[in-house]
Homo-oligomer: A and B are copies of this chain.
Amino acid sequence: MENYKLASVKPSVAEFKVGVDNVIFSVDTQHNRLLILLVKRYKEPYANYFSLPGTLVRVGESLEAAADRTLSEKIEVENLYLEQLYTFGEPGRDPRDQKNNQDQRYLSVSYFALVRYEDTNLITTGNRKAVWHLLKETPQLAFDHNRILDYGYQRLRNKLEYSPIAFKVLPEAFTLNDLYQFYTTVLGEHFSDYSNFRARLLKLGFLTDTGLKVSRGAGRPATLYRFDEDAFALLKDKPLVFI
């Protein structure tokens, strides 16, 4: 209302560039390590800091396409899960906001991704090569990326408990122990008793026995299971907790 009294004080609309920043997780099941993809910045601001892989959205490009592009520029991966995370946009979150142009703002739409570690191929050419980092040893990141990462990690844990994203990222055939290790590395050692985890998962009925067995050194060979999309679809309405 009061904005229209004087044309000269009518507040002006901000101009934005929109960045997409990706929180890309991967689980190295062999070594029980939860990994996060980071890139080292080579120019200001925050030169020599690590940051989340990101890019500015281009003309004619959708947000998700920008997220996908970042992924494919850094790693070659076939199997992944991708979803939007959160949008950060306070004035001043990017130092470039202040610099030359008072009206130029930078907004970050963050995306969350979980990729299959085994068939991930890091692209090491170019001057912004990406590397896997242990999540536990994440350094101080550029911009507000530590905050974005925290948010992404929270989402990862929630998603794992309430939806079947693990199966997008495990091998086609996997043992129940593989699955358990996967959950353990993300959610921590004591998220559930193995025996109860087994029982719950098998009772749900969307894991089908492939008939194949795999032997890992000594001990009884493990049954290989496969995720059955169709069987899962039948229960998609009900809670489904893996705790």
Contacts and interface: CB of A to CB of B under 8 A. Distances in A.
Contacts of A217: none
A57 B109 CA distance: 15
Nearest to A123: B1
Contact of A1 (B87, B90, B126): B126
B1 A59 contact: no
Interface stretch (A7-15, A22-30, A164-172, A227-235): A7-15
A97 to B, nearest CB: 10
Contacts of A63: 87, 89-90
Interface residues of A, number: 31
A195 interface: no
A5 to B, nearest CB: 14
Contact of A89 (B57, B73, B86, B90): B57
Given A12-B58, A18-B105, 15 more contacts: A1-B125, A1-B126, A13-B17, A13-B58, A13-B59, A14-B17, A14-B18, A14-B56, A15-B15, A16-B17, A57-B105, A61-B91, A63-B89, A84-B86, A87-B87
A57 B17 contact: no
Given A87-B87, A89-B109, A90-B63, A57 B1 contact: no
A36 interface: no
A57 B104 CA distance: 12
A90 B62 contact: yes
A18 B107 contact: yes
Residue of A12, A17, A56, A87 with most partner-chain B CB within 10 A: A87
Contacts of A1: 73, 125-126
Nearest to A93: B62
A76 interface: no
A60 interface: yes
A102 interface: yes
Given A1-B125, A1-B126, A59-B103, A89 B14 contact: no
A37 to B, nearest CB: 18
A15 B18 CA distance: 8
Nearest to A20: B89
